[in-house]
Each structure stands twice: as structure tokens, then as C-alpha cells.
Chain A
Amino acid sequence: MNGITAENLHLWRGEVHVLRGLSFAVNAGQCLQISGANGAGKTTLLRALCGLLPLEHGRVCWCGTDIASDPSLYHAQLAYLGHDNGLKGDLSAIENLRYGTALRRRLQSPQYTSALSTVGLAEQATVPLRRLSAGQRRRVALARLMLMDAALWILDEPASNLDAAGQALLRSLLQRHLHAGGTAVVATHQELGLEVDALRTLALQ
């Protein structure tokens, strides 16, 4: 199947048994929203889905194949947005987009500028990122997400620091991604406001 499945995931962090036999399946065109109290293991689950954390038991499959069998192939189709944006404060927004995407795709300059204007930062394109606000930096990270053209998005609290307009932007980006046949796994407390038939939910205890 197209999409991501998790089978009986177990993971310990130190003395804490964070993931206890978790299973789910998300198809292409669907979004899995993960909710749960602080410390419930949302970030741990997302990092395990990315392959950053080794699982003690169980497996994660992307398009039917275990992600551990060919991590590079899986990662080439994955875009991860964590707590930290992974952007450099000393580089401008447009340089960040260029270097952020150059590892996976070759793009032209107009694509960077149009991505920046989509997220409403056309005028701040050449300002060093450290001078932008936290919400603006999150928007740059969303622009990079858009340009990565990945089939699977794994987003950790993508709406953090975003204002109402930014959240609407995130919603429209997600919707466009799902309509194009993409898959998304999103950890968030907020309502994503997606169509019901595209949304799966998972509450961690």
C-alpha cells in the first residue's frame, strides 16, 4: 500500500516505556493527527517514524517496505520538521531555502522567491534569519517543507509560534499536500481543520 504503517512499536527512553505496542496505518492522501499530553511521547514517536530513534520492537513500513531496509530511499521521500527549524540564523531566508533544499533537489531562484511570497515573507528574503521573529522563522521552515516536494511529511508541532494567518497557511499547505496524494503525520494540540475523511487521529497516553 502507499502510505506509512506502524506495527507493534515498542520504545524505551531510559527507564520509561514510552511506546507500548503502537500500531496504525495512514494511506496516501491522509493525515494522521497525534495528540497527547506533554511528555506522552509524541516527539519520540515522530523521531522513531523518521528512523532517528532505533525501535526496540516492531517495524515502520513506507509503501510496504520496512524503512530500516533502505533508509536513504525512505529519507529521500521524507520531509521532517521538528521543534527546531534546522535553519541557520546567519543566513538569509533565501539562502536557507537554497542550502536547505540543495541536498535533494535542484531548483531555480524564482522558485525560492515564490515560495517565500507564499508564506508571506517576500520582503524579508535577504534579511539574516536571526533578525526575524520565531513565527517568521517557522514560516521559512514551511517554505522549505513546500519546496522539498516530499511524499511524506512528518511535522512536530508545526503551528508553534504561528499567528492565525500562519495557521491558515499551514492548513492550506497540508490540504494541498494531501490532495496531491501525499501523506502526513502531524503531532499537534491544535485543530488542523482538515476534511474529516482525510484525517486520522491517534491519542497517546
Chain B
Amino acid sequence: MSTPGVPFVAAAASLMARDLRLAMRRSGDSLLPLGFFVVVTTLFPLALDPDLSLLRDIAPAALWVGALLSSLLALDLLFRDDAQDGALEQLALCGQPFAGLLLAKTAVHWLLTGLPLVLVAPLTATALGVPYSATAAILAALLLGTLALSLIGAVGAGLTLSLRRNGPLLALLVLPLAVPVLIFGARATTLAIQGESPSAPLYLLGAIAVLAASLSPWALAASVRIGLE
């Protein structure tokens, strides 16, 4: 009667279109993590002495801890709705490669929560007294960093699917794994602010992002399957 009639790419594209459309219908949800990031990073200049060199010293920490916590906050949006209304089960049973579909979902999630954060970062960096010459490096570091954070976090979100109050456990699972991203991201930012070449930590960030992209789909599929049991 029936064979898998749709190529995977078309199936993944329709899933991504669905998630984008759903996000448009509830645009407030996906903007919340961005608002959190902006508010947290702009609180630092208000709380500290208006001393430019002090602000520049803490700017990398403020930007990256803000990005890390904001990505953690956003993870709640990734699978929760689909798990509650049974759409995730349908996805698992549609006959398409589950790992690929979940990777597509994570990609949309990054587009909606990670990319806006990267785009708004130059503004918040300016508020922290970061020189304009460092902006390009900070953008590159955050681009790679948020990608890695979304991929790592998605696995944690899958593992904690079956728990009702999963926030604290999710943080405990994901934050230790995100430490390398924090270290190299902050290092690249510091070097860029000091006017030195940030390429070494950027390469390492890139390596982490590639590693996360190549390993996380399988871990994702396994963890979400466990969450569905």
C-alpha cells in the first residue's frame, strides 16, 4: 500500500516550515530568551562603576554567561509543546530518519533563539564598552558558540522530556557540557578586545561546533526516544 514516498530533505523542509510558522504565531515565546540576554548583559554597566576599563574587563564574562543562560532558557521551547500534544510521537513514527528530523528542529530553534542573540550582541557589547574593532570577532565567536550550545542543549532537553519540572536538572546536565564553549568563547572575546588575534580560540570553538553537529543527532534521537517511553 504505502512506501516512504517523500525524500528526507522534503520532509525535513516541511517540518522546518511548520516550526517557523508556529513560531510566527507565537512570536513572544521565541523572543523571551533574547530579551533575557539583553537585560542581563545591560545590567552589568548599571551595577558597576562607570569605569570603561573595568567594564571592558568583565564584558567577555557578561556576554558569554548571558548567552549561556539565555540558551538554557530557550531549550524549554524546543521539544515541550511537541511532547505534550503528541506531535513528537508522530515524528518518531513517520518512517523518516528521526535523528535528521530532530536536527532540523534544532536548526530552526537556533534560527529563532540563537541567531537573534548573535545579531543583537554588537549593541550589548557596545553598552559594555567593547571597541568596534572587536565586533567582528565577537560575532564570529557567538555564531559558533550559540550553534554548539543549541546542539548540546538539545540532547539535554531530550533526556529531561519525561520529567514534569525539568528546569533545574536540565541546567545541571547541560551547563557542565557547555563549559568548553564558555571558556573559548570568552577567551576569543578577551583577545579581540585587547586587540590581539582571536583565531586560536575561534578555531577551537569551530571544532566544538562541528563535533556537536556531527555527534548530537544520534545522541538526540536516542535521548528523545528515552523521553518518549
Contact = CB atoms under 8 A, between A and B. Distances in A.
B69 interface: no
B93 A85 contact: no
Interface string B70-95: 00000000000100111101111111
A158 to B, nearest CB: 13
Contact of A77 (B2, B15, B228): B2
Contacts of B21: 91, 95
A103 B92 contact: no
Interface string A46-85: 0000111110000000000000000011111110101111
A77 B86 contact: no
A150 interface: yes
The DSSP consensus for interface residues of chain A is: loop
B14 A102 contact: yes
A19 interface: no
Interface residues of B, number: 34
B85 A80 contact: no
Contacts of B11: 102-104
Q: Rank and list the top 4 A-B pairs by shortest CB-CB distance, nearest first.
A: A84-B86, A76-B95, A86-B86, A102-B14
17 contacts: A75-B92, A77-B1, A80-B90, A84-B84, A86-B85, A86-B86, A88-B81, A91-B21, A98-B14, A99-B15, A99-B17, A102-B6, A102-B10, A102-B14, A103-B91, A105-B6, A151-B2
Interface of A: 50-54, 72-78, 80, 82-91, 95, 98-100, 102-106, 148-151, 180-182
